[in-house]
Chain A
Amino acid sequence: MMQIAARTASGTPLLNVDNLVVEYGLGNKTVHAVSGVSLEVARGETLGLVGESGCGKSTLGRAVLQLRRAKSGRVLFDGEDLTAMEGEALRKMRRRVQLIFQDPIASLNPRRRIGDIVAEPLIIAGVKDAAERKRRVHEVLGAVGLDPELVSGRLPHEFSGGQCQRICIARSLVLNPEFIVCDEPVSALDVSIRAQILNLLEEMKARFGLTLLFIAHDLAVVKAVSDRVAVMYLGRLCEVGPSEQLFAKPAHPYTALLLQAIPVPDPDMRPAESVATGEPPSPIAPPSGCRFRTRCPRADQRCSAEIPELREVAPGQFAACHHPLA
């Protein structure tokens, strides 16, 4: 059955993920990394995707871009099914979608100059005119706040983590994409640099008219840039809704747990002890019924017997829970 995860206010969504299942083989076992996720992202929107490490965020992001093929389900981009595409058609489509990774330094080839790194997608896309390539490279380097003349000839190790992330963002913009999956782009950065990069992503989104899937494990970071937020746990979506609403009134116990775990920079808000207990179970043998039940304070018999479907709990807000918070 198709889940209605996220209806956006108007029009057809730019991205429509429908009941996506992605698995990995591990010896004779199966890792159930993404188990039936459906979501939509409207053109111009930022959808935040949060959840603990290992819950399948990167797998979902990569499957959207067809860097990992799904076992079942569909990914519609601008109305076309990417999962059914191959060869030249898929390559053409890929120019419209890009990926930014968590570890900016590791994702840049240490032996290549910055100018060449940023120009690479243009070469792969067959832009033959060197002057045109240079113009594009200079434009995007300038846009991310780097001086093209100064940085083009230098190597990645001459740059800090924050600057490398700027370079990665420039590279992702060079083909003028419509959609970017940002996979934990600020998780490896210091608070001060994190704020710079989040602001930069917001600026780039406005300037280039982008649509973003923004992945992170920190809810406060996600809220800063997202119109809507999807919360993921062990391969499934727990809750989806408009950012403000979801943060003010989380309906899913897991969203509430994530919210309580955020360290608050205020000494009067001494953290309530041990709101979060335990760690997520293995996706090789996920719990029956609701996958969160082994850590959920509200779990009962029904939670182990029956998989909760996403249901609308408030306008635009959907939760997959048998006993949602009021």
Chain B
Amino acid sequence: MSAPLLTIEDVAVELPTPRGNLRAVDHVDLSLDAGRTLGIVGESGCGKTMLSRAVLQLLPKKAKLTGRVMFDGQDLVRLDAERLRRLRGRDLAVVFQDPMTSLNPVLTIGTQLMETIQEHLELDASAAKARSIELLAAVGIPAPEQRLAQYPHQCSGGMRQRIAIAIALSCEPKLLIADEPTTALDVTIQAQILDLLAREQRRRHMAMIIITHDLGVVAGRADELAVMYAGRVVERAPTPALFKRMHMPYTEALLAAIPKLETAPHTPLPAISGRPPDPTRPLKGCSFAPRCRYAAGRCHEAKPELKSAEMPGHLYACFHPIQMSERTDA
């Protein structure tokens, strides 16, 4: 078996703040094979974006990063700036929640696409233009040739996100990181963008990380899920295994809080009370303890380590896991 495309090893990110050191990512291990999709799920502030920025080596300047990020055989943490820059446009691509993060408002869409393509692939202007049109068509933009001359502000939010995806895909990346790509969009457009990402991924055999706060967005689309809370991965499993038998009270609570179509109106939603802990004031025990309905004893004293469940590839970090089979329930 070949090595995974991406391995995140013991990655931690700390940010100095006026309130003290903020541990945004707290010793995370993850891996992803070529052509597969990993979903990273959790509430705002739990470190999803910082983790993805650690992979991309796009952290704020003052951030302190430890650990290793092995991508395609090299450690990105130790790669020099020039090689990183080349890698990012080419093998490693990203789509953000706000497409304007990656689009330049004063350049036409055509210029932006063609610049990226020409910088990373050796194509002349006319070939780059042809490729741009092809890409815009692939991401579902009507009349792609006319679009080339337009500016981002002349497009709707959904169209801008499609263009950002076209730019991200332009150099056939091996890994695409999509950080809440549809959070700002309508459900109908969200469905289209997620379909588009899935289709392009299959076609290109590209690996993908989808980051979201909504389990519904990744349930039918990711091969594997990692649930993050307070900077840590607290549960990780192949998607079917996770939904069949989740062990973390936090995962259960996240799922329960989503309004379901089959539920009658005016049924109170099982909300998670309170908020995640202040990341500058780490708790002694389990970070979820103040909000957890199963918290007892040890939960307030010690941090549960990530350990294997009975299903292969399923890990959880909890002293009182739910839905354990009798054999392994200790």
Residues of A within 8 A of B (CB): 52-53, 160-162, 190-196, 198-199, 202, 217-221, 223-227, 243-244, 247, 257-271, 273-279
Q: Is the interface of B mostly helix, strand, loop or mixed?
A: loop
Pick the residue among B158, B195, B266, B275 that contacts A225 (CB under 8 A).
B266
Q: Are B265 and A223 in contact (CB under 8 A)?
A: yes
New contact pairs (4) apart from A267-B219, A274-B191, CB-CB < 8 Å? A192-B257, A195-B270, A225-B265, A265-B214
Question: B44's contact among A190, A218, A263, A267, by CB below 8 Å, is which?
Answer: A190
Expressed in whole angstroms, the Cα–Cα distance for A58 and B263 within the complex equals 27
Report whether A274 and B261 are in contact in the complex, using a CB–CB cutoff of 8 Å: no
Specify the chain A residue showing the minimal Cβ separation from B157.
Answer: A53
CA distance A196 to B199 in the complex (A): 35
Among residues of B, the one whose C-beta sits closest to the C-beta of A162 is B275
* Complex contact B213–A261 (CB within 8 A): no
The answer on a CB contact under 8 Å between B188 and A52 is yes
B261 and A259 within 8 A (CB): yes
Q: Are A265 and B268 in contact (CB under 8 A)?
A: no
- Kindly count the residue-residue contacts between A and B in the assembled complex, taking CB atoms under 8 Å apart: 144
Give the complex CA separation of A258 and B42 in angstroms. Answer: 25
Q: Is the CB of B261 within 8 A of A247?
A: yes
Chain A nearest CB: distance from B97 CB in Å?
12
A262 / chain B contacts, CB cutoff of 8 Å? 187, 216, 261
Q: B223 — nearest CB in chain A belongs to which residue?
A: A267
Which of A193, A220, A227, A276 makes the CB contact (< 8 A) with B260?
A: A220
B43 within 8 A of A: yes
Q: A196 contacts B261, CB within 8 Å?
A: no
On whether the beta carbons of B268 and A279 are closer than 8 Å, the reply is no
Q: Is B105 an interface residue (CB 8 A)?
A: no
Binding site for A on B (CB under 8 A): 43-44, 142, 156-159, 186-192, 194-195, 199, 213-217, 219-221, 239-240, 243, 253-255, 257-261, 263-273, 275
Report A-chain residues with C-beta under 8 Å of the C-beta of B217. Answer: 263
CA A193 to CA B142, docked complex, whole Å: 37
Nearest-neighbour CB distance to chain A for B71, whole angstroms, equals 27
Cβ-defined contact, B267 with A224, below 8 A = yes
Closest to B156 in A: A279
Neighbouring A residues of B189 by C-beta, 8 Å? 52, 276, 279
8 contacts between A and B (CB under 8 A): A192-B254, A195-B272, A218-B259, A263-B187, A265-B258, A268-B240, A270-B220, A274-B195
A271-B195 in contact (CB<8A):
yes
Asked if B187 and A191 make an inter-chain contact with CB atoms under 8 angstroms apart, the answer reads: no
Q: Which B-chain residue is minimally distant from A224 (CB atoms)?
A: B259
Inside 8 A of A266's CB, which chain B residues have their CB?
219-220, 243
Q: Is the CB of B220 within 8 A of A219?
A: no
Question: B194: which A residues are within 8 A, CB to CB?
Answer: 263, 271
Given A162-B275, A266-B220, A279-B156, A217 and B269 contact (CB-CB distance below 8 Å): no
Known: A221-B259, A267-B219. A202 touches B254 (CB 8 A): no
8 Å CB contact of B269 from A199, A271, A274: A199
Docked complex Cα distance between A56 and B142 (Å): 24
A223-B216 in contact given A192-B271, A279-B159 (Cβ < 8 Å): no
Asked whether, in the complex, the Cβ of B261 is within 8 Å of the Cβ of A276, the reply is no
A271 B265 Cβ-Cβ under 8 A: no
Given A225-B266, A258-B188, A279-B159; A196-B220 close (CB under 8 Å) = no
Q: How far is the CB of B40 from chain A (nearest CB, A)?
A: 14
Residues of A within 8 Å of B220, CB to CB, are 263-264, 266-271
Which listed residue, A224, A243, A261, A274, touches B187 by the CB 8 Å rule?
A: A261
Are A261 and B219 in contact, with the CB atoms below 8 A? no
Q: Is the CB of A279 within 8 A of B158?
A: yes
Cβ–Cβ contact B214 & A191, under 8 A? yes
Question: Which residues on B sit within 8 Å (CB–CB) of A226?
Answer: 265
**How far is B268's CA from A270's CA once the two chains are assembled, in angstroms?**
27
Q: Which residue of B lies closest to A265 (CB)?
A: B216
Q: How far is the CB of B114 from chain A (nearest CB, A)?
A: 25
Interface pairs A-B: 8 shortest CB-CB: A195-B271, A263-B216, A195-B269, A276-B188, A265-B216, A195-B257, A224-B259, A261-B191
> Within the complex, what minimum Cβ distance (angstroms) separates B195 from chain A?
5
Which single member of B219, B239, B268, B272 contacts A202 (CB below 8 Å)?
B268
Is there contact, CB below 8 Å, between A191 and B258?
Answer: yes
Give CA–CA (A223, B239) in the complex, Å.
27
Contact across chains for A198 and B269 when beta carbons are under 8 A apart: yes
Q: Are A267 and B239 in contact (CB under 8 A)?
A: yes
Establish whether residues A194 and B188, one from each chain, have CB atoms under 8 Å apart when the complex forms.
no
A278: chain B residues at CB < 8 Å are 142
In the bound complex, CA of A162 to CA of B188 (Å): 25
From A190, A198, A268, A271, B43 is in contact (CB under 8 Å) with A190
A220: chain B residues at CB < 8 Å are 258-261
Q: Which residues of B contact A52 (CB under 8 A)?
A: 186, 188-189
Chain B residues with CB under 8 Å of A269's CB are 219-220
Bound complex: CA of A270 vs CA of B198, how far in Å?
A: 12
